[in-house]
Structure 1
Amino acid sequence: MNLPKKFDDRMRELLKEEYDQYVESLDKDFYAGLRVNNLKVSCKEFKEISPYQILPIPWTNNGFYYEKENQPAKHPYYYAGLYYIQEPSAMTPAAALEVKPGDKVLDLCAAPGGKSTELAAKLNGEGILVSNDISNSRAKALLKNIEMSGVRNAIVMSENPKKLVSYFEGYFDKILIDAPCSGEGMFRKEPSMTKNWEEFGVDYYSEIQKEIIEYAACMLKPGGLLAYSTCTFSPEENEGTIAFLLERHPEFSVIKLDIYDQFDSGKPQWLDLEAEKEELNKCVRIWPWKVKGEGHFLTILKKKEDKIFEIKPNYTPKKFKISEELKSFLKDVKINFNENCFESIEDRIYYLPEDMVSMKGLRILRSGLYIGDVKKNRFEPSQAFASALKMNEYNRVINLSGDDPNVIRYLKGETIEVENEFESGWNLLCVDGYPLGWGKLSGTTLKNKYYPGWRWLS
């Protein structure tokens, strides 16, 4: 690999005797990982049905290595949202952030959604997850992954973090920032990122990171936790950003993490940060020559509980009359909905998380769970709703085995014929007990309602 000379010289200077190990690691293949989506399946259950040989990633409870030739993105279980394909080191921040059901959580730079979907699994349907990415195009990919993973309680938006402060000051229990960075830790996996490094360098991202982490600090409740991570080696973007926060916000302190014995500590000496040395040593560095993963940096900070300040929920969904068509459909859904959380926007029906604040004026891609559309004399359930259901939560189900050719036909958008007798109307098509999407059955013909944008591409 042809490393940028300026970067190579700096790494040689910083790593000293470990530099040769770093260079050798660049000639080795990167490791592939998948993270089991515990919203849909337990790790124990997934191990029993996994179509591939998988080995546990030691710093997560639900991450596994797989052989790249297996191509797990070309399996029906991927479309059922049973796992998310994610670089092993990148699983660490969401795994390390202590999130519990009922928390209000912000993933500030969330696309494409790997960390958001894990945070949602930890919430287990309770509380609120706000997943934001400033890039609208990237936020659309984030939305797809949120919905495919079956998340019911997420707000997906595309906003400048600065604008969010006036809406959410002191609101969140937990915040995760996987900050935009120079990407030095990913050069092995994505060599093209060296061009981005040469164009923008370290200083460009360092300034952005300082702005973002200050906005996050304002949105965190006293007593809350803030996770900051990057996939770069640069101390300016890592320890330097944390030192900046600690200086500007003395109410924060770094939490010592004991995740994995091959992870390294922070390197305050690389920036002569003696004043914050004790705190910055608690940061975590992941080196690709020490673990089976790429380069990463992680810090968890806690905000002191020195004042009482909290936003009270101030948003009430607009009242609307539930149509007879929607009532009829919901009779087959075995979920105890709170009718006060339904909202209709231009004939689209959403089920909103409780304890929301008003977000008028923000660019929101999705508020809560998209249930479906009310049309003339009928209701059509959404793909997102199908993905959010468990098989036993809907009365009319067609459950196919993973090796049934009709599964792939369905995922490709084809009409399929079913052999057994099923009740006509909306049916939830599942693979091995896990929902894929809707079909409308007439006789033995299932009209395909799988979302076109998610279809299997051969």
Structure 2
Amino acid sequence: MKIPEAFSNRMKKWLEPDEYQAFIASYDNMRAQGLRVNRLKICPDSFVQRVDWQLDPVPWTEDGFYYPDTFRPAKHPYYHAGLYYIQEPSAMAPAAILNPQPGEKVLDLCAAPGGKTTQLAAAMKGKGILVVNDNNPNRVKALVKNVELYGVTNAIVTNEIPDRLAEVFPGYFDRILVDAPCSGEGMFRKEPDMVKSWSEQAIEMCCGMQHDILKGAARMLRPGGWLLYSTCTFAPEENEQMIAKFLDEHPDFLVVPIPLYEGWEHGRPEWTLNAGADSRISGTARLWPHRVRGEGHYLALLQKRKDAVATSFSEYTPEKKWKRKELESFYVFVKETLPQWKGLVSGEFAVTMHEDRVFLSPVGLPSLKPLRLARQGWLLGTVKKNRFEPSQAFAMGLVKEDAARVIDFAADDPDVIRYVKGETVMRQVGKGWVLVCVDGFPLGWAKGAGNMLKNMYSAGWRWQDGA
């Protein structure tokens, strides 16, 4: 790989000669490939026992695994069932260190395409409120798909800048993940295009964005709450210096030392340009590609002091602008198709409507009216002319036992590939909506029609031949 000379010179300035040589040599090595098991659907031990793949544990997360470069996990039915997320191993560290708990209010502020979002959601076990945001409308589309594919049912997806979110969610969240946009130096092996777009000017531009994002995040965190800042770059300006500046401007925050796994290093206080070396920074962590099986990452775990001034928010009760009659077809569908589903009995969620779409939305939120919403909860389906049509997202958040009519393919059945390609499948099944599964895990919907299944698999999700 041809590394930009300016980047090479920068790293030579920051690193000792021996370490610099090891660092540069790492670019000649194959990068590590990883996947993370979706604990919303299956526990890691059960997954490993179910497959005969060569999987080696990623040390810093209980659900992450390395897999061989020759393996293509996206070409397996389990991928379409959302049983795992293909993720660079070092990128699994931020959500693992933040470690959200079921029932908490959590924000993923720079969330697209959704890898860390799904990891946060799995840790929350469907309990609590997960707000996921990206300010790029095109990237939000990928974020929504991954939230839905992985069966996340307690998420609100927004498309906003941090300042607008902070107006709605002051002092609201227990934990916030800021996986900040950065110059991407740590991803050169994974995404070679990052090499072409890198420049010292890009570092300066990213620093401005990072400063503003952290400022907005600080406003949204409750006293005693945790904020995890991460980048995939080596630049001290975006890492140690950014955190030192944040701490100077926000004295109500402190660094929580991150436990180091093998190959991890403490942040470099001397890189803050503070003549006395900023000791606060030593509790942050760096992952280097010449020291771990993964790419470059920087992590800083911050806590807002418990005695910090609290900011209140107003809980909002949605006004029901729809009539029960409009939802009648939805309730009929649930009664006939999902007799064992318990989703409507929890006091943590409420059925809501937006235009013709039906959602199961978390309660306990402020008013979301000022925000651009991509999803206001779990999209269950649409009501069309008094007829309810379930969504792909609805299927992915269910379990096989919820449904009255199920067709369950084995993973090696050719019909499962036909189904995810959107083709008609010949099977004898009763009339009505059918939950299609692979080895017991939902894939989507079909409609029984005599000796065939009318395929209702979402067009945007279909199996693509090729890589």
Query: Fold conserved (TM > 0.5)?
Result: yes
Moved more, 67-76 or 429-438: 67-76
How many residue pairs match? The answer is 456
Read off the aligned partner of 1:314 and give its amino acid letter. Answer: Y
Partner of 2:36: 35
The superposition leaves residues 101-124 of structure 1 with CA deviations (integer Å, 9 ceiling, x where unpaired) of 111111110000000011111111
**Helix, strand or coil at the partner of 1:359:** coil
Partner of 1:11: 11
Partner of 2:213: 212
Matched, 1:2 2:10: no
Partner of 2:317: 315
Partner of 1:108: 109
Contact 1:319–1:343 (Cα < 8 Å) also in 2: no
The superposition leaves residues 378-421 of structure 1 with CA deviations (integer Å, 9 ceiling, x where unpaired) of 211000000111111222111110011110000000111115xx
Structure 1 residue 164, shift from structure 2 partner: 1.1
Contact 2:158–2:372 (Cα < 8 Å) also in 1: yes
Aligned mates of 1:70, 1:61 — CA distance in 2: 21
Q: In structure 2, which of residues 328, 331, 345 is the aligned counterpart of residue 327 of structure 1? A: 331
Structure 1 residue 324, shift from structure 2 partner: 3.1
Contact 2:269–2:280 (Cα < 8 Å) also in 1: no
Aligned mates of 2:51, 2:366 — CA distance in 1: 41
Aligned mates of 1:410, 1:284 — CA distance in 2: 45
Give the 3 Å change call, closer, same or farther, for CA 308–160 of structure 1 in structure 2.
closer
Matched, 1:433 2:440: yes
Structure 1 residue 2, shift from structure 2 partner: 2.0
Read off the aligned partner of 1:143 and give its amino acid letter. Answer: V
Partner of 1:409: 418
Structure 1 residue 49, shift from structure 2 partner: 1.5
Aligned mates of 1:4, 1:190 — CA distance in 2: 14
Aligned mates of 2:384, 2:234 — CA distance in 1: 53
Partner of 1:155: 156
**Helix, strand or coil at the partner of 1:6:** helix
The superposition leaves residues 287-323 of structure 1 with CA deviations (integer Å, 9 ceiling, x where unpaired) of 1001100000001100011134442422325253153
Contact 2:99–2:120 (Cα < 8 Å) also in 1: no
**Helix, strand or coil at the partner of 1:341:** strand
Aligned mates of 2:276, 2:209 — CA distance in 1: 23
**Helix, strand or coil at the partner of 2:199:** helix
**Helix, strand or coil at the partner of 2:226:** strand
Aligned mates of 2:2, 2:382 — CA distance in 1: 53
Partner of 1:57: 58
Partner of 1:447: 454
Question: Gaps (5+ residues) in structure 1?
Answer: none
Moved more, 18-27 or 200-209: 200-209
Partner of 1:348: 357
- Where in structure 2 are the equivalents of 1:221-370 lying within 5 Å? 221-273=222-274, 277-306=278-307, 307-316=309-318, 318=320, 320=322, 321=324, 323-331=327-335, 332-333=337-338, 334-338=341-345, 341-370=350-379
Matched, 1:385 2:389: no
Structure 1 residue 199, shift from structure 2 partner: 7.4
**Helix, strand or coil at the partner of 2:419:** helix
Structure 1 residue 274, shift from structure 2 partner: 5.0
Structure 1 residue 259, shift from structure 2 partner: 4.0
Read off the aligned partner of 1:103 and give its amino acid letter. Answer: E
Question: Gaps (5+ residues) in structure 2?
Answer: none
Identity across matched positions, percent: 49
TM score, norm. by length of structure 1:
0.97
Structure 1 residue 162, shift from structure 2 partner: 1.6
Aligned mates of 1:335, 1:274 — CA distance in 2: 60
Give the 3 Å change call, closer, same or farther, for CA 13–308 of structure 1 in structure 2.
closer
Structure 1 residue 227, shift from structure 2 partner: 0.3
Give the 3 Å change call, closer, same or farther, for CA 344–276 of structure 1 in structure 2.
farther
Moved more, 311-320 or 179-188: 311-320
Read off the aligned partner of 2:198 and give its amino acid letter. Answer: W
Contact 2:270–2:277 (Cα < 8 Å) also in 1: no
Aligned mates of 1:123, 1:225 — CA distance in 2: 15
**Helix, strand or coil at the partner of 2:457:** coil
Aligned mates of 1:274, 1:304 — CA distance in 2: 27
**Aligned-residue CA RMSD in angstroms?**
1.5
The superposition leaves residues 67-86 of structure 1 with CA deviations (integer Å, 9 ceiling, x where unpaired) of 12211011110010000000
